[in-house]
Amino acid sequence: DARVTQTPRHKVTEMGQEVTMRCQPILGHNTVFWYRQTMMQGLELLAYFRNRAPLDDSGMPKDRFSAEMPDATLATLKIQPSEPRDSAVYFCASGYATHRGSLEPQHFGDGTRLSIL
Amino acid sequence: KNEVEQSPQNLTAQEGEFITINCSYSVGISALHWLQQHPGGGIVSLFMLSSGKKKHGRLIATINIQEKHSSLHITASHPRDSAVYICAVRLETGNQFYFGTGTSLTVIP
């Protein structure tokens, strides 16, 4: 059964440290999403890619966050420097969009639970 | 004001009941997404729809574009349906998504 794989599952680090979260999308999917979920804000879309190109990153704080897709099998989300307010669960999801932009339901990873002390 | 409003916020039902969760939005959209988040935190994409109705098992999602409203129905509810249901919309212009705050459903045996 194909799955979206996220690593690490949990991360605890001190503020100021760099954090890198990784996501392996389902093979064949051409769209990758990064979400953040907190108790206060709920679920938010940070950025998403289609065919490895960033389609929208308006939800992502640009000064400390960066998202990339070095290749079709890997998406990364980096925070540098990290702050306590970045503590959240970060989900990656992948899906397939047709050439007309119609998007099929997304498949979610299990998330990375990040705690910044 | 949130662009996406869900109701109710919390819902408790007896096993077997028919359940309806509502989502209203105030922006032009190209698609609407229903998500299910289980108590353990895992998220499942239930439906993406831009018109009409979709059905999968005991779940039915409908959308009325003119009224800017979507409903998620669960027939013959079961305790395993207990979860938070989240509505999200993709804007008609641009590529942004807006999310509702979720409806927490508890189905009692």
pLDDT tens digit sequence for A77-109 = 999 999 999 999 999 999 988 776 667 778 999
pLDDT at B92: 86
Q: Give the contacts of B68 (CB within 8 A, at least 6 positions apart).
A: B24, B25, B26, B29
Measured between CA atoms, how close is A26 to chain B, in angstroms?
A: 14
| Closest alpha carbon within chain A to B103 | A42
Task: Please list every residue in chain B whose beta carbon sits closer than 8 Å to the beta carbon of residue A104.
Answer: 48
The 10s digit of each residue's pLDDT in B35-83 is 999 998 899 999 999 899 999 999 999 999 999 999 999 999 999 999 9
Across the interface, which of B30, B43, B48 has its CB nearest the CB of A91?
B43
Size of the A and B interface in Cβ pairs below 8 Å: 52
Angstrom distance (rounded) from CA B109 to CA A69: 45
The 10s digit of each residue's pLDDT in A15-49 is 999 999 999 999 999 999 999 999 888 899 999 99
Q: What average pLDDT does range B17-32 have in this prediction?
A: 95
